Amino acid sequence: MSESLLLYLAVIFAGSLIGGVLPLGRNWSRHNLLIPVSFSGGILLGAAFFDMIPESAPLLGRWLGWPLLAGFLTIFVLEQFVLVHPYPEHPGPHGHAHHIHLGVTAYAGLSFHSLLDGLAISSTYNKPGLGSVVLLAVLFHKIPDAFALSSLLILDRWSPRSILGWMTVFAFSTPIGALVTWLALTDANNAIVGAAIALSAGTFLAVATSDILPQLRRVNHQRFWPLAALFVGVGISWLGRVIAG
């Protein structure tokens, strides 16, 4: 495994840990969290539509839809039946939702999702101009995911010491997923690599459409900045693709 990929994974670990530690310092409102979350949604959409799908399409041809749909449905089923929604839908007086005693479920679901992020990183790393784009997409949605999960654990009355320990474990989940899938894809042919990229693109689309975009509809005021953050994220993804050629 190359040093640059290890550096990628170290950056992901650090970003996840930082996102998980931030809520321990103060109470954050849902609106303050929504702007970086919206930005991450734009990054995810841009990475999927501008980079990952175009990269996997020539490798898969008419079979592209199957892994793309499989990735989308994996996250959809996870969201609907396993994972407590990581972003507050019905904020209380301090901007937080009341999801008491559901922290374990949310932790398990998001940890599994993080393993899939590891698949995205390892499957795209060897594609010129794609690895860094996917790293950016994973990083910018891992930070708010870790932030929201840590906030949920606070609401679930976990102790700060316990949250810090378990969020450290959570931060390792994407690097572990990347290492495992890197070994599995070492001798894989182009079709398998293309399927892995398309599967990852499907998960990105599902996270953006089921987790992030619905949050914009729930904002009753000051909608401009979250919407602007979304388009800025899309624009940065497109610009990165243009620069990479």
Q: pLDDT (tens digit, 9 = 90+) per residue, 85-129?
A: 555 444 443 444 434 344 666 677 678 778 888 888 888 876 766
Return the higher-pLDDT residue of 133 and 15.
15
CB atoms within 10 A of CB 188: 14
* Range list of H helices, the chain: 3-21, 30-46, 53-60, 65-81, 103-124, 131-155, 160-185, 190-206, 213-217, 224-244
* Total tally of structural domains belonging to the chain: 1
Q: pTM for the complete prediction? A: 0.72
Closest by CA to 34, choosing from 237, 238, 235, 222, is 222
DSSP state of 218: T
pLDDT at 3: 79
pLDDT tens digits, one per residue of 195-207: 989 998 998 898 8
Only one residue has tokens 């931030």, namely 22
CB 234 within 8 A of CB 42: yes
Helix (H, G, I), strand (E, B) or coil at 210: helix
Please name which of 227, 231, 123 lies closest in space to residue 182, comparing C-alpha atoms.
123
pLDDT one-digit tens code per residue, 24-74: 876 666 666 677 778 888 888 988 999 889 989 998 999 999 999 999 998
Mean pLDDT, to the nearest integer, of 6-20?
A: 91
pLDDT tens, position by position, 167-184: 999 999 999 999 988 888
Q: By the 8 A CB rule, do 158 and 108 touch? A: no
What's the CA gap between 98 and 87, in Å, rounded? 11
pLDDT bin (cut points 50, 70, 90) of residue 149 is: confident
Cα–Cα distance for residue pair 75/97, rounded to 1 Å: 22
Range of the domain at 190: 3-244
DSSP 186: T
Model confidence at 162: pLDDT above 80: yes
**Which of 3, 245, 208 has its CA nearest to residue 113?**
208
Are residues 163 and 153 in contact, defined by beta-carbon separation less than 8 angstroms? yes
Tokens found for residue 201 = 């693109």
Each residue's pLDDT tens digit, 205-237? 988 888 778 877 776 667 788 889 899 989 988
